């Protein structure tokens, strides 16, 4: 089991895992200015090797947060819930629900729709053809693909929810 869990490391990697000890060298001791400086080497080693090799542990959660604790944290506090609206009134014009001190969006929608139609530019007059064949040739019409028809419906747009009447 243990061998299966551990990553298979090459021999060199395994030796690197072991704590670093000053290597014993036999021979004539070099003068201090000729000996390699040990500090630079170790820092480079830490940077080059992966984190397993450095022997330093970084901050990390010790355990996975349990289902219960996570849900207690995220959904327990009342101020994180969607609040109920108690500032609702009846619109004096259409009788639908509206927020108090706000305009009724049903009426605003109706009025703006009327404005839009009122202020719309006049539609272009159709050309008159003496010979109906001319029209067929110049404007042969267009065949709409299924995808184009679907695009026309604009069902992906998020729309305002409709207001409800007060019973």
Partner 1 sequence: MTLGRNSKQLNHTLRNLVSSLIIHEHITTTPAKAKLTANYIENLITKSKKHALNNTTKEWKHLLHGKLYNQKDTIPKMDLFVERYSNRNHGFTRMLKLDPRVGDNAPQVALELVDNENKELFFWYIAKVVARLELQGLPLDDLTAKNVSKVTKYKVNGEEKFAELVKLCKKEFFTNGEGLEDSNEIEIDIENDKLDIIPTPLENKPRMKSNTNGFNKQTKNFVVVPRS
Output the CA–CA distances (angstroms, integers) from residue 25 to 22, 29, 61, 102, in the order listed: 9, 9, 42, 86
- Positions in 73-92 near Zn ion (CB under 5 A): 91
Quote the least distance from Cβ 107 to Zn ion, whole Å.
3
Residue closer to partner 1 (CB basis): 13 or 95: 95
Quote the least distance from Cβ 36 to partner 1, whole Å.
55
Residue closer to partner 1 (CB basis): 114 or 129: 114
- d(C-alpha 145, C-alpha 151), whole Å: 10
Among the listed residues 9, 17, 93, 166, the single contact to Zn ion using CB under 5 A:
93
Residue closer to partner 1 (CB basis): 30 or 88: 88
Q: Show the tokens assigned to 22.
A: 């000053």
Longest CA pairwise span in the chain (Å): 115
Dihedral sign, Cα of residue 125, residue 127, residue 130, residue 131: negative
107 is an interface residue for Zn ion by CB under 5 A = yes
Identify what 106 binds: partner 1, Zn ion, none; CB under 5 to 8 Å per kind.
Answer: Zn ion
Among the listed residues 13, 16, 54, 94, the single contact to Zn ion using CB under 5 A:
94
- d(C-alpha 113, C-alpha 128), whole Å: 32
Cβ distance 129 to 119 under 8 Å?
A: no
Q: Which positions lie near Zn ion, rule CB under 5 A?
A: 91, 93-94, 104, 106-107
């Amino acid at each position: 089991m243990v061998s299966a869990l551990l990553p298979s490391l090459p021999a060199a990697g395994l030796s690197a895992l072991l704590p670093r000890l000053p290597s014993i060298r036999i021979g004539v001791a070099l003068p201090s200015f000729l000996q390699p400086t040990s500090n630079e080497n170790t820092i480079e080693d830490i940077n080059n090797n992966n984190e397993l090799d450095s022997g330093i542990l970084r901050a990390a959660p010790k355990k996975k947060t349990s289902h219960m604790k996570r849900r207690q944290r995220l959904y327990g506090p009342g101020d994180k819930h969607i609040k109920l609206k108690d500032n609702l009134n009846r619109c004096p014009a259409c009788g639908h629900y509206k927020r108090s001190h706000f305009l009724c969006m049903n009426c605003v929608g109706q009025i703006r729709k009327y404005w839009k139609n009122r202020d719309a530019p006049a539609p272009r007059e159709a050309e008159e053809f003496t010979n109906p064949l001319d029209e067929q040739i110049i404007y042969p019409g267009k065949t709409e693909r299924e995808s184009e028809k679907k695009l026309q419906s604009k069902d992906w747009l998020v729309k305002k929810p409709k207001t409800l009447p007060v019973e």
